[in-house]
Amino acid sequence: MRVEIRAVNRAGQLETFWSEHRDLDEAVLRAEGSGYRVLGAREQRTGLVPRAGRAAFPLLAFSRELLSLLQAGLTLTESLDALLEKEPRASVRDTLSRLVEDLREGRSLSQALERQPAAFPALYVATIRASEKTGDLPESLERFVSYQSQADQLKRTVISASIYPLLLVGVGGLVALFLLVYLVPRFSVIYGDMGGELPWASRLLLGWGSLIAGNQLTAGAVLAASIAAVVAALSSRRSRSLLARPLWRIRAVRDRLQVYYLGRFYRTVGMLLKSGIPALTALEMARGMLPALLEPGVGFARSRVRDGESMSAALGAAGLTTPIAARMLRVGERTGQMGEMFERTGRLCEEEVARWLDWFIRLLEPLLMVFIGAIIGVVVLLMYMPIFELAGTIQ
C-alpha cells in the first residue's frame, strides 16, 4: 500500500512524504530506522469506497476500560488480559494480543504502543511515555479520556448542527434535479409540438430540457463524474485546504474557523504539557490540530520560544492567539500552570464556537428554505408560463 508519513527529520524539520509498504506499521518502522521521528501515518485512498481492512481501533473505549481496571487494583498485564478475553472483534483482539506479547517480552507500554501506530497515534504514545517517567499512568489515561471526550462532544455538536441544513439542501437538490432532468425535457417536447413564441426565460429552460432529453446517457455520466469529483476532493486534505482558501478571505468566517482550530490546538498542547512533555515538543506534536494555512505559525513560534521568548508572546507573534487567549496564557506563565491554562483557553474557544454555531444554524435554516423554495418555484413558473399566456389569450 502507499502510505503518507508525517515526521520530523534529524535537522528538526517537519517532512511529509509517500512510500510503498505492506502495512502502516512497517512504514513507520522503516521511517524510524532512517532517522525520522514519525508523528503520523495514513494509507492513501485510491478510490471513492474505502478499501476493506482493519477496523479503526476504539481508542477512547480502550482507555476508559483500561483506566477502570487499573483503578480497581489490577496490574497492567492483567488489565490487558481481561480486555483481550472480553473482546469479540478479531482486529481489536489482534492489537491487544500484540500489546500483551510486547509487555511480556519486557517492553514498556509506550514502546508496545509505538509498535502499532495504526491504532495508537503519536499524541497518545507521548502521553503514556511521559506518565511512565512519573508513575501516574491512571492519571494520564484519565486526562486523555477527558480530552478525547470533550473533543468528540464538540465534533458531535458540529455534526448535529449540520444534519438539518444538509437534509434541506439534499431534498431540495433532489426535487430541483427531478424537475430539470425529468419534467422539463417532457415539457420541452410538448411545447415544441405546439409551436408558437415562448418567453425568453422559458425558451432558455426548455432548451436545457431538450439538451437533456437528447443526451440522457451523457448527462448521467457527467452527473456521476461530478459527484465522484466532489467526493474525491473532500476526501483529500490538500483539496479541502484549497477549497477553504476562499472562505479564509471572508473575515467573519475566518475568525470563527480560527477560533475552532485554536481551541483544538490549545486543548492538545494543554494535555501534553500536563503530561510532562516539554513545551517545544508539545507545540510540534499539536501542529496537526491546525489547518494547513495555520501550520507554519507553529514552526515560527517554536523558533522564538527556542530563542528564549515566552510562549504567549511567540504564539501571539505567529498569529495563533486571540486577545482573550493571549491574556490567559500570560497568566499561566506567571502562575506556572501553563498546561491548565491552555486547557481552559481551549474550553473557552470551544464554548464560543458552540454559541456561534447555534446562532448561525438558527439563521441558516430559514434562509435555506427560502432559497430552495425560490429555486423550485422559479423552475415551475417558467415551465407553466406558456400555459398561463395561452389561457390569457383564449380569454
Provide the b/e sequence for 60-98 (b: ≥16 CB within 10 Å): eebbbbbbebbeeeeebeebbeebbeebeeeebebbbee
Q: Is residue 126 situated within a structural domain?
A: no
Query: What backbone phi and psi angles, to 5 degrees, belong to 54?
Result: -65, 135
The pLDDT of residue 49: 34
CA proximity to 24, closest of 141, 128, 135, 117: 117
Q: Quote the domain boundaries for residue 369.
A: 135-395
- For residues 165 and 100, membership in a common domain is answered with no
- Does 128 reside within a domain? no
Question: What pLDDT is stored for residue 197 in this prediction?
Answer: 62
Cell of 255: 475568525
304 contacts 314 by C-beta, under 8 angstroms:
yes
Per-residue model confidence as pLDDT tens digits over 94-120: 888 988 898 888 888 888 888 888 888
Q: Residue 150 has what pLDDT?
A: 76
Q: What percent of the chain has pLDDT over 70?
A: 77
Provide the CATH number for the domain around residue 239. 1.20.81.30
Does residue 32 belong to any structural domain of this protein? yes
Q: Between these two residues, 305 and 235, which has the higher pLDDT value?
A: 305
In whole angstroms, what is the distance from residue 280 CA to residue 288 CA?
14
Going by pLDDT thresholds of 50, 70 and 90, the confidence category of residue 215 is: confident
At residue 46 the predicted structure's pLDDT band, cuts being 50, 70 and 90, is very low
| Whether residue 113 is found in the same domain as residue 248 | no
186 shares its domain with 221: yes
The mean pLDDT value for 72-93 works out to: 86
Domain's final residue, options 73, 97, 120 = 120
Clarify whether residues 215 and 91 are in a common domain. no
Question: Which grid coordinates are listed for 145?
Answer: 479520556
Average pLDDT over residues 223-247: 72
- For the cut 70, the answer to whether the pLDDT of residue 246 exceeds it is yes
In a domain, 175, yes or no: yes
Name the pLDDT band for 64 (thresholds 50, 70, 90). confident
**Residues in a beta bridge with 15:** 7
Residue 86 pLDDT: 84
pLDDT at res. 192:
62
The reply to whether 272 and 353 lie within a common domain is yes
318 occurs within a structural domain: yes
pLDDT, one tens digit per residue, over 379-390 is 777 777 766 665
Q: For residue 146, is it within any domain? A: yes
What pTM value is reported for the model? Answer: 0.63
pLDDT for position 369: 85
Q: Is residue 6 part of a domain?
A: yes
293 and 195: one domain? yes
pLDDT digits (tens, 9 = 90+) for 286-300: 887 888 778 888 889
What pLDDT, on a 0 to 100 scale, did the predictor assign at position 54?
45
247 and 145 housed in the same domain: yes
In this structure, are 37 and 67 located in the same domain? Answer: no
Given this model, what pLDDT does residue 289 score? Answer: 80
Supply the pLDDT for residue 172. 81
Asked whether residue 372 falls in the same domain as residue 295, the answer is yes
Task: Provide the number of structural domains found in the chain.
Answer: 3
The reported pLDDT for the residue numbered 48 is 34
